[in-house]
Amino acid sequence: MVKKTNLKLIPLGGLNGVGKNMMVFEKDNRIIIVDCGLMFPDDDMPGVDFIIPDFSYIKKNKEKVEALIVTHGHEDHIGGIPFLFKEINVPIFATKLTIGLIKAGLNNSGIGMKIKYNEIDPDKPLNIGPFHIDFFRVNHSIPDGIGLIIKTDVGTVLHTGDFKFDLTPIDKKVTQFSKIAEAGSKGVLALLCDSTNAEEAGYTLPEKDVGKTLHDKFEEAPKRIIVATFSSHIHRIQQVLDVARKSGRKVAISGKSILKTIRVSSELGYLKIPEDIIIPITRIDDYPLKEIVILATGSQGEPLSALNRMALGEHKRVSIMKGDMVIISASPVPGNERAISNTINRLIRQGADVFYESIAGVHVSGHAASEEIKIMISLASPRYFIPVHGENKHKIQNARIAKSIGISEDNIIIAEDGDIIKMNVNQCRITGNLNPQTIYIDGIGMGNIEDMVLKDRRILSGNGIIFIVVGVDFTKKVILQEPDFVMKGVIYIKDLKEIIEKIKNVIEGTIKTCFSENIMDKNMIENIVNDMVSKFIFKKTGIRPIIITKIVSL
């Protein structure tokens, strides 16, 4: 009899925050990857565009990788694919809309390789090596989302993907409860369950509720309406278009990402655009204000988004005016709260009436609240429960939900990114961690930025930089040219001239001390000067600008 090997699960992202979701399933030296997303940076990561998973384990084991399976088309599940495919090329399996969005991303990335796409039919199983995979349709804030039932010879793992239970979905495609229940009746070894909304009591409201609120707001708006939402939220975009048509308004689009989504989803039949409703943004002045809706990117306060540029008065076509109604139809992604608040405040200062999630019913989540999670657990009836997709607080709350309905605490696995989870018919446990690096995408650059680099960027953004140039004769050990200063981004300093003279004394005294101690290495002297000047400025002013000293041999 052949001995059954362990099933290995390795989350490479998605378990230490909301984003960069990526899960590795490994069995009998064969690997399938589920999702490959990105995460947007926090405020304390200046200059960073986004963060992707560490692909080191995949690169090391690329010969074992059989496929990438994608649960849905959100950026936190597909945004890392262009970077992954710089390392490997494997078949991609996804539903029709998800493939369309992945193709659009890969086409814009400049990757020239030929990629094999395989469209998933949720009612047709898939066999890849030791993995027999069934799919079940789920509701989420984007069409064509799926969960996975992954069967192996040691047991079945059910991966929910991102889900909610919406009994009246916009596309009329409800969650396939029967498939989850059937898997549960046959035995589920482990359930990987979406944790994002675990802190919310009760049930997540249906998407149609937003449509009712939008209708009411559109009716009461005296002038122009600007709606910002997630660019991938096709159901929300559909409702904006439908309500605009009913209220006799035209819709103009502002933002490359939302234009891309509308193009792809309408071409594939997922978005039904009412006839003659969309106009170019260049024509908004051709209509009365009361007949215009602008659908824009920027629901997360992104610096380069259309709404933020409007808020800053930098948009080429749209200037906010008194009486504009701005609807931010989205919830803050963790880490974006401050940016969104800043955008809202700027819009209000310019005279706009702003409505957002916490004061109006203009958004509902795409993730399951606590009662829906209980239903998922009850249907799947797993032996082991593994919270995924969320920060630590979300995973812990999800674990509490599982425990409250009978899952043993010993059978709840709280994992982190990089953990190696091994399971067989008798056990499920974490056996180690790959210690993945944080991979930042910075412009066209990609890599692990050292903490010191981010620290320098934070200092630059807050306190600025001071350049110091000193002319020195190393042969005679004398200073020939007194220190010269260039300051950039340094906040106001009281008695600046007096402090500059004292800094000069510190620099000259430090260099003379180095010479007296026979320290003649230019780089070493520059570093010592940097340190002494930094300490002096902090003592006198309480700020810590970056100090860069250049000693010139004369």
Q: What is the pLDDT of residue 235?
A: 92
Model confidence pLDDT, tens digit, residues 257-270: 899 899 999 999 99
How far is it, in rounded angstroms, from Cα 235 to Cα 240? Answer: 9
Give the residue range(s) of CATH 3.40.50.10710 domains in the chain: 208-355
User: In sequence order, what E strands does 414-461 have?
Assistant: 419-423, 428-433, 439-442, 445-447
CATH superfamily, domain 7-202+365-447, is: Ribonuclease Z/Hydroxyacylglutathione hydrolase-like (3.60.15.10)
How far is it, in rounded angstroms, from Cα 301 to Cα 126? Answer: 40
Active-site residue numbers?
194, 367
Residues 43-50: what's their mean pLDDT?
58
Q: What is the pLDDT of residue 444?
A: 47
Give the residue range(s) of CATH 3.10.20.580 domains in the chain: 451-553
Beta pairing, strands 419-423 & 428-433: antiparallel
Token pair for residue 547? Answer: 């100090």
Average pLDDT taken over every residue of the chain: 89
Give the residue range(s) of CATH 3.60.15.10 domains in the chain: 7-202+365-447
Domain covering 451-553 in this structure, CATH number: 3.10.20.580
What's the pLDDT band for 3 if we cut at 50, 70, 90? confident
Model confidence pLDDT, tens digit, residues 276-329: 899 999 999 999 999 999 999 887 767 668 888 899 988 988 999 999 999 998
Residues 529-550: what's their mean pLDDT?
84
User: In sequence order, what E strands does 72-215 have?
Assistant: 92-94, 117-119, 126-128, 131-137, 146-152, 155-159, 188-194
Residues 6 or more apart in contact with residue 408 via CB below 8 angstroms: none
Q: What is the pLDDT of residue 382?
A: 97
CA distances, 507 to each of 465, 526, 527, 531, 549 (Å): 16, 10, 11, 10, 10
Model confidence pLDDT, tens digit, residues 178-201: 999 999 999 999 999 999 999 999
- Which fold is adopted by the domain 208-355? Rossmann fold (3.40.50)
